[in-house]
C-alpha cells in the first residue's frame, strides 16, 4: 500500500512548492507579510520570486499611475463667483510599506486623497478671481470690428498667475501631505469648470444683453451710413447739374458775345447801308397776305407810273 | 468452486452462486491516448498565439516583460508561464467628445446623451460659455508604456483631452471659439494634449484633434443669430444706398454733360450763323462800295418785286390825294407804308 502515502506526500510537496513561489507583474509591487507584519522591503522586480511557504503572505499593490477623480464641488472664487470645479489627479504608491501601514488598501488611499485634494482645491479657488482660474495666458482676443467694445473690463483684465500655475500650486501643497501615507501625487488638473446654475443664468443674460446691444448698434450704424450716402447722392447730383448748367450758360454767353462782336464788326462798317439792307430783308419777311399797303406814287418804285421822266 | 476474476464466471457467496454481468473490456492503451491527447491540446492551446497585422504581442514571463512579437503566428512557453497581451499599434483609434456617433456609415447619426453634453459645455476666456464638440484621433506609439505605466489609459486619456481643450478654450474669447479661432484652437489643444501624453508617459501619439460643432449655448443662440442678422441688415442698407447713389449721380452727370454739349452746339451754331451773315454782308458791301447809288436802287426794286406779289390789298394813291385816307375801309390789320 505504498501508493496512497506517495500520493499524500506528493500533494503536500506540491502545496509547499506552489506556496513558496509568487509572480510580480510589470505593473505590481509586492509586500510580504509574516503573521501580519511586513517582512523585508518592497519587491518591485518583475518575475518569479520565492518566499517562505504558507506562513508568509503576498500583498499586491499597483506600481502604475493610478486614477483619482474628484467629485465636482461648488466652490466660490475670490470674486464671489460660484463655480463647479471637477478636478482629476494621478498618483502612485511611492512607498508601498508606508501605504500598507497607513491605509492598507487603495480605497483607503483614495479617500485620504479625496480630502486632501478637495481641500487644497477649495483653498486655491477661493484665493483667486475667476479670470485667473480660467485663463492660462495674457493673449489678446482677436475681435472683429463689428464686436468692438463688447467685452467687459473683467474679461480683458490681465492675469498674474493663470490656470496652469494654480493647478501646480494645488499639486505642490497636496504633495506635502501625501507622503505621510506613502503616496506621491504626480499630476492635478482641472477636468471641468462650469458656472453653477444661478450664476450661469446671469451669465447667459449678460451674453444676451451684450449681443442685443451689438445688434442694435450695427443696425443703426447701417441706417446712419445709408442716410449719409443718400445725402451725398443729393449733393453730388445737385453739384453735377448746377455745374453743367453754369458751364452751358457760360458757353452760350461767350457765343452770344462772339456773335455780337462779329456782327458789330461787320455791320459797323457802314451802319446806314446795314440799316437799308436789313430793312429790305425785314420787309420781305414780315409782310404777307394779311397786309394792306397804301403806296404813294412818290415812292421810288411807283414814281415812273406817272410819266417816264422823274 | 474456484473463484474467477472479476466479471468472469460465477462468484461463490456462501453457497449461492451469483452471476455478475460482464463488463466491457477497454484496451489499456486508449485511456492513456486520450489523456495524452488532452495534454497535448492543452499545451498547444496555451503556447500558440496569433498576432494580427495591426497589433504587436507583449510577452510577460511570470509577469516580467521579456519581448515584443511582430504580427504572425507565434509560440510561447505554455501553462501560464508566459502570457501575451495584444496591443493594436497600427490601428488609428478615435475618441468623441460632446457627442456620440450612434450609427456610422454614409450619414452618421450623432446622439447627445447627458454625459456627452456635460463634456461639451465650457467656459471661454472672456468668461462666457460655449458648447464645443471635438474628436481626437490617436495611436498607441509605445505598447510597453501603454500597458505598464498608467492604469486605465482610456479614462486617463479622456480626462487629459478634456483638460487640454478646456485650457485652450479658456484662453480664447467665445467669438474666437465659434468662428475665427477654430483652427488655431484645435492645433494648440493637440499640442497641449501631446505634451500631457509625454508628461504621463502613456505611449500615445496624438494624430489629429478636430473641432466639430461649436456653438453658443442654446439659451443665447437667438441673440448671437440676431447679431449676424443685424450685420447683414447693415450691409444691405449700405449697399442699397450705394446702388441708389450709383444710379442717380452718373445720370445727373450725364444730363449735365448733355447741357454742356447742347450749349457747345448752340455756340457753334451762333458763331457760324454770325460768320455766315457777316461774310454775306461783307461780300455785298464790297460790291456796294463800288457803285453805292445804283446798288441801293437795285436792291430796293428787287425787294419790291418779291414783296408786292405776296401782299394782300394794295392801294396806290397819289401823294396829293391824301384826303381819301379817312374814308377808306380798313379791314384787319393795316400796315402803313410811308415814303
Give dist(CA B124, CA B112) in Å, integer. 21
CB A130 within 8 Å of CB A155: no
Q: List, as own/partner pairs, every contact residues A285-289 make where C-beta atoms lie below 8 angstroms and the sequence separation is at least 24, other chains included.
A: A287/B307, A287/B310, A287/B311, A287/B335, A288/B310, A288/B311, A288/B312, A289/B310, A289/B311, A289/B312
pLDDT at B24 over 80: no
* B55 vs A5, higher pLDDT: B55
DSSP state of B22: P
pLDDT average, residue stretch A205-213: 93
Q: Which residues contact A35 (CB under 8 A, 6 or more apart)?
A: A55
pLDDT of residue B26: 53
Instruction: Please name the residue of chain B whose CA is at the shortest distance from the CA of residue A92.
Output: B150
Antiparallel, parallel or unpaired: β B314-317 and A292-296: parallel
Q: B interface mutation test: which of A155, A227, A296 has the most B CBs within 10 A?
A: A296
DSSP string, chain A: -HHHHHHHHHHHHHHHHHHHEEEE-TTEEEEEEETTEEEEEEE-S-EEEE--TTTEEEEEEE-SBEEEEPPPEEEE-TTS-EEEEEEEEEEEES-HHHHHHHHSSHHHHHHHHHHHHHHHHHHHHHHS-HHHHH-SS-PPPP--GGGTT-S-TTTTPPPSS-HHHHHHHHHHHHHHHGGGGTEEEEEEEEEEEEE-HHHHHHHHHHHHHHHHHHHHHHHHHHHHHHHHHHHHHHHHHHHHHHHHHHHHHHHHHHHHHHHHHHHHHHHTT-HHHHHHHHHHHHHHHH--TT-EEEEETTSTTTGGGS-S--
pLDDT tens, residue by residue, A85-133: 999 999 999 999 999 999 988 999 999 999 999 999 999 999 999 999 9
Q: Which of A91, A118, A116, A124 is nearest to A106 (CA)?
A: A91
Out of A25, A147, A288, closest to residue B310 by CB: A288
Instruction: Please name the residue of chain B whose CA is at the shortest distance from the CA of residue A228.
Output: B241
pLDDT of residue A95: 92
Q: Which of B114, B110, B93 is nearest to B213 (CA)?
A: B110
Name every chain B residue with its beta carbon within 8 A of the beta carbon of A23: 62-63
pLDDT of residue B319: 66
**Cβ pairs A/B, distance under 8 A:** 370
pLDDT band at B334 (very low <50, low <70, confident <90, very high): very low
* B118 vs B139, higher pLDDT: B139
pLDDT band at B339 (very low <50, low <70, confident <90, very high): very low
Do A67 and B160 count as a contact with CB atoms less than 8 A apart?
A: no
**CB hemisphere CA count around B331 (13 angstroms):** 5
A254 touches chain B (CB under 8 A): yes
Q: Which of B220, B206, B316, B59 is nearest to A302 (CA)?
A: B316
CA B10 to chain centroid? 99
pLDDT of residue A171: 95
pLDDT at A60 over 50: yes
Name every chain B residue with its beta carbon within 8 A of the beta carbon of A47: 61-64
pTM: 0.75
pLDDT band at A276 (very low <50, low <70, confident <90, very high): confident
SS3 B101: strand
Amino acid at each position: 500500500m505504498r501508493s496512497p502515502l506517495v500520493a499524500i506526500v506528493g500533494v503536500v510537496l506540491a502545496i509547499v512548492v506552489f506556496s513558496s513561489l509568487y509572480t510580480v507583474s510589470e505593473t505590481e509591487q509586492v509586500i510580504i507579510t509574516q503573521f501580519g507584519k511586513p517582512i523585508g522591503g518592497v519587491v518591485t522586480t518583475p518575475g518569479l520570486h520565492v518566499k517562505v511557504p504558507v506562513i508568509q503572505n503576498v500583498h499586491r499593490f499597483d506600481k502604475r499611475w493610478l486614477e483619482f477623480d474628484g467629485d465636482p464641488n461648488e466652490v466660490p472664487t475670490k470674486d464671489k463667483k460660484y463655480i463647479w470645479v471637477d478636478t482629476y489627479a494621478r498618483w502612485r504608491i511611492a512607498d508601498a510599506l508606508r501605504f500598507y501601514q497607513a491605509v492598507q488598501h487603495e480605497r483607503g488611499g483614495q479617500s485620504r486623497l479625496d480630502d486632501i485634494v478637495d481641500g487644497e482645491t477649495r483653498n486655491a479657488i477661493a484665493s483667486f478671481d475667476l479670470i485667473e482660474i480660467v485663463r492660462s495666458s495674457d493673449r489678446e482676443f482677436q475681435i472683429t470690428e463689428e464686436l468692438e467694445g463688447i467685452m467687459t473690463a473683467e474679461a480683458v483684465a490681465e492675469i498674474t498667475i493663470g490656470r496652469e500655475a494654480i493647478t501646480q500650486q494645488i499639486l505642490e501643497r497636496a504633495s506635502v501631505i501625501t507622503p505621510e501615507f506613502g503616496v506621491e501625487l504626480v499630476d492635478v488638473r482641472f477636468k471641468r469648470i462650469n458656472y453653477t446654475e444661478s450664476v450661469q443664468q446671469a451669465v447667459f443674460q449678460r451674453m444676451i444683453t451684450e449681443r442685443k446691444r451689438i445688434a442694435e448698434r450695427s443696425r443703426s450704424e447701417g441706417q446712419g451710413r445709408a442716410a449719409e450716402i443718400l445725402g451725398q447722392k443729393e449733393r453730388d447730383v445737385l453739384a453735377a447739374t448746377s455745374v453743367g448748367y453754369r458751364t452751358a450758360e457760360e458757353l452760350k454767353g461767350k457765343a452770344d458775345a462772339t456773335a455780337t462782336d462779329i456782327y458789330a464788326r461787320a455791320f459797323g462798317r457802314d451802319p446806314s447801308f446795314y440799316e437799308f439792307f436789313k430793312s429790305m430783308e425785314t420787309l420781305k419777311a414780315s409782310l404777307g397776305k394779311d397786309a394792306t399797303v397804301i403806296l404813294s406814287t412818290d415812292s421810288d418804285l411807283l414814281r415812273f407810273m406817272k410819266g417816264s421822266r422823274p | 468452486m474456484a473463484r474467477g476474476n472479476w466479471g468472469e464466471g460465477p462468484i461463490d457467496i456462501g453457497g449461492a452462486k451469483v452471476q455478475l454481468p460482464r463488463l466491457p473490456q477497454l484496451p489499456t492503451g486508449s485511456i492513456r491516448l486520450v489523456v495524452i491527447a488532452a495534454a497535448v491540446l492543452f499545451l498547444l492551446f496555451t503556447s500558440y498565439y496569433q498576432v494580427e497585422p495591426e497589433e504587436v504581442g507583449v510577452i510577460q514571463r511570470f509577469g516580467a516583460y521579456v519581448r515584443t512579437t511582430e504580427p504572425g503566428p507565434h509560440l510561447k512557453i505554455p501553462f501560464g508561464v508566459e502570457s501575451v497581451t495584444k496591443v493594436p499599434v497600427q490601428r488609428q483609434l478615435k475618441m468623441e467628445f460632446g457627442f456620440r456617433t450612434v450609427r456610422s456609415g454614409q450619414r452618421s447619426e450623432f446622439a447627445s446623451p447627458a454625459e456627452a453634453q456635460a463634456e461639451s459645455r465650457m467656459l471661454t476666456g472672456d468668461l462666457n460659455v460655449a458648447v464645443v464638440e471635438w474628436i481626437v484621433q490617436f495611436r498607441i506609439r509605445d505598447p510597453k508604456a501603454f500597458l505598464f505605466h498608467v492604469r486605465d489609459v482610456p479614462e486617463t486619456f479622456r480626462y487629459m483631452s478634456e483638460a487640454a481643450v478646456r485650457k485652450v478654450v479658456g484662453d480664447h474669447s467665445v467669438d474666437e471659439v465659434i468662428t475665427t479661432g477654430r483652427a488655431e484652437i484645435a492645433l494648440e489643444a493637440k499640442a497641449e494634449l501631446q505634451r500631457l501624453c509625454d508628461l504621463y508617459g502613456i505611449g500615445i501619439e496624438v494624430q489629429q484633434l478636430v473641432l466639430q460643432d461649436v456653438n453658443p449655448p442654446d439659451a443665447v443662440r437667438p441673440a448671437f443669430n440676431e447679431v449676424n442678422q443685424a450685420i447683414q441688415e447693415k450691409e444691405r442698407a449700405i449697399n442699397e444706398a450705394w446702388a441708389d447713389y450709383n444710379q442717380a449721380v452718373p445720370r445727373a452727370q450725364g444730363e449735365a454733360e448733355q447741357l454742356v454739349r447742347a450749349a457747345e452746339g448752340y455756340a457753334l451754331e451762333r458763331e457760324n450763323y454770325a460768320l455766315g451773315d457777316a461774310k454775306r454782308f461783307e461780300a455785298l458791301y464790297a460790291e456796294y462800295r463800288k457803285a453805292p447809288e445804283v446798288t441801293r436802287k437795285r436792291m430796293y426794286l428787287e425787294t419790291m418785286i418779291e414783296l408786292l406779289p405776296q401782299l394782300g390789298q394794295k392801294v396806290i394813291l397819289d401823294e396829293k390825294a391824301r384826303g381819301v385816307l379817312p374814308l377808306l375801309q380798313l379791314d384787319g390789320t393795316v400796315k402803313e407804308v410811308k415814303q
